[in-house]
Amino acid sequence: MTILIIIGMAILTFSFRFVPLLLTKHTNGSSKVQALLEYLPIAVLSALTVPGIFQVDADDNLVGIASGIVAVILVLIRKIPLLLVILGAVSAALIVKILTMNH
């Protein structure tokens, strides 16, 4: 029974994330609707990610904030691969954690 629930939730999660992508590719609606559908995945991902930045470390919010800022800066300055953005954000989090450990 548990396996069926997990599979069902995986299908629902996948469909909620994949269907907007399909809609943006095959819609011939107005330009406003097209723009809305084009930015919908980014908006949803941001809504899921930003609260997590503040919950990275319960004792020190600075860790999540620093890694979030580094990730945004890396994405805006250069269009670099996602793996390098992740490594930069994790490095920033580790540096902040090490620097604030003694305080």
58 and 103 housed in the same domain: yes
59 and 88 housed in the same domain: yes
The mean pLDDT of the chain is: 80
C-alpha 25/C-alpha 33 separation (Å) is 12
Runs of H (alpha helix) within 1-103:
2-26, 31-53, 62-77, 82-100
84 and 40 housed in the same domain: no
pLDDT recorded at residue 27: 58
C-alpha 34/C-alpha 6 separation (Å) is 33
Query: How many structural domains are present in the chain?
Result: 2
Query: Residue 72 belongs to what domain range?
Result: 54-103
39 and 64 housed in the same domain: no
C-alpha 13/C-alpha 1 separation (Å) is 18
C-alpha 18/C-alpha 9 separation (Å) is 14
pLDDT recorded at residue 24: 61
pLDDT recorded at residue 84: 85
Contacts of 65 (CB under 8 A, 6+ apart): 53, 54
pLDDT recorded at residue 30: 73
pLDDT recorded at residue 5: 92
pLDDT recorded at residue 39: 76
Per-residue confidence in pLDDT tens, the chain, 103 aa: 889 999 999 998 888 878 767 766 665 667 777 777 777 777 777 787 778 777 777 777 888 888 888 888 888 887 788 788 888 888 988 898 888 877 6
36 and 70 housed in the same domain: no
